[in-house]
Structure formats: C-alpha cells, structure tokens
Amino acid sequence: MSKNRFLVHLAAVGMIVAAIVPAGAQSRAAPPPYAASPDLPDGWGYNSFERSRAVAPSAGRADNRPIWRNRGLFSSSSARPEADAYPRWDRPMEPRRSTVRPPAARAPAVRRAYAPAAPQRQTARRPKREFDPAFLPTEVAYDGTEAPGTIIIDTPSRYLYLVEPGGTARRYGVGVGRPGFQWAGEHRVTRKAEWPEWRPPAEMRKRQPGLPTMMPGGPRNPLGARALYLGSTLYRIHGSNEPWTIGHAVSSGCIRMRNQDVEDLYARVDVGTKVIVN
C-alpha cells in the first residue's frame, strides 16, 4: 500500500471516530458546569456528611425543577435537603419574635425621705431592792435591867432585842411605822398566829379604798408567816413578804420582820411575853 493511500485511510478512520465519540467522550472528560445555587454563599465548603444544594442543568425537565443531589456517603438523586440551619447571607434576616412576656406594670417606687431612728427613751432603772445584811439576826451584849424573855423594840435604830440569860440579847432588824404612825409603850403578847389572815381596820380602808375587808393567810398576805398580837391594840409584830423594807419606816404602826426571823422569834416567846416599844 502506498503512503498516500495509508494516510487517506487514516484520515477516514479519524473522521468516523470523531463523528461517533465526541458526545460521550466529552461528557466523561469535561462534565457540564454546575450552577451554584443562589442559596449558597461564595466559598461554601462541602463536608462529606453535610448536604449541599447544587443545581444540575435543567435540560429535558418540563417543570424546570432543580435536582437535589446528596454529596454525602449515601447519595440519592431523589433525596431532599434538610432545613438549612445557617442564615442565608444574600437575604435579610427576619427579626426573631421574643417569647418573653413583658413584666407587669409596677407602681413607681416612692422615694422616702431619710428619717433618723428615734432615740430610745432612757427609763430610769429602779435600783434592785435587796435586804440589808446589817439587819441580820445576831447575838449582842446586854447590860440592862429587863428580865430574860423580854422584847425591847428600839424604833430609831430599827432593831428588836430579845433579852436572854447571861447578859446577852438576840437582835433582829425590823421595819417600823412611818412618820405619824410611830408609837411607844408597854404591852403583852396576847395572841400568836401562824399564817394569819389580815383584816385591815376601818381607818386603814378609809385611807386606802382599794384594800379588802379580809385577806386569807398565805405568802401574799402582808402579815407574812407569823404574827404576835399586842394587847388590845391594832398593832402586831408580824412577818413580811417585802424583806427590802426591813430597816425602814414604812408601816402603819406594826413592827415587821423577815418571815424567817419572825418564825425564829415566834418559837422563842410565849403568850404573855412583855413587849417594850421605845
């Protein structure tokens, strides 16, 4: 075969191949370009597990709908894309509706003027009332002429003495009549009573209208635990539930003692004992 003939045959074969191959070879070598969706920003990166939306050429589709393609591990031309979780950059974002309810209207706060705290009233503290130990019972010397067993009351010094044998006397502190109710004289013990009832005389109830006509004996009774009645008078030597008054002139004429002291005296004397009040 001559060279020229060979070239003719080669050219004929090339023309036949060119007529048959171009469509398929061109599609495999250079696929048609894909148009980026307007929903995707420039530089959108594809992840193998994320779905992207690429629009293939719409030739041959009557409805001109884009073909959604999945670029993940499991591809399916019929798969639909999931909702886009990212904002679309090419369109304005809609304002998000707040689900928080506005707070209820409140009355305007009233600004109060500062007022300093009122100073606390300084109340005078009443001194604690205590029994003066100077009036506790004690043994003292006695050089008088009265016989043992005699009771001597020294009103100015607020002491009661019980004369004892051997030139001694037992001394007790007492409370005496306030000014205008003090008295002096000599009497005898005509009666003794334990936890006596109290019957204020009419004169006392007239001066103090709130007094009862009779109060039974007991710890609240002003006559205390014991009473020694003096003759036919209204005066007595009696106990008291107010021991802090011993040593003071506070009574209406009676001689008062601490309850424990009058109990001791009560046990040492008998009815008929001589009582001298100075």
Catalytic site includes residue 254: yes
User: Which of 9, 187, 248, 254 is flagged as catalytic?
Assistant: 254
Taken in order 230, 232, 235, 236, the sign of the CA dihedral is positive
Of 198, 194, 202, which is closest to residue 215 (Cα–Cα)? 198
Of 277, 63, 52, which is closest to residue 184 (Cα–Cα)? 277
CA 51 to chain centre: 64
Helix H or strand E encompassing 274? strand 274-277
DSSP letter at 90? T
SS3 16: helix
Residues 6+ apart with CB under 8 A from 196: 217, 221, 223, 226, 227, 238
Cβ atoms of residues 182 and 252 within 8 Å: no
DSSP letter at 114? P
SS3 229: strand
The span from the first CA to the last CA of the chain, in angstroms, equals 185
DSSP letter at 175? B
Find tokens 């307007």 and name the residue.
Answer: 38
Cβ atoms of residues 246 and 258 within 8 Å: yes
- Catalytic residue numbers? 238, 254
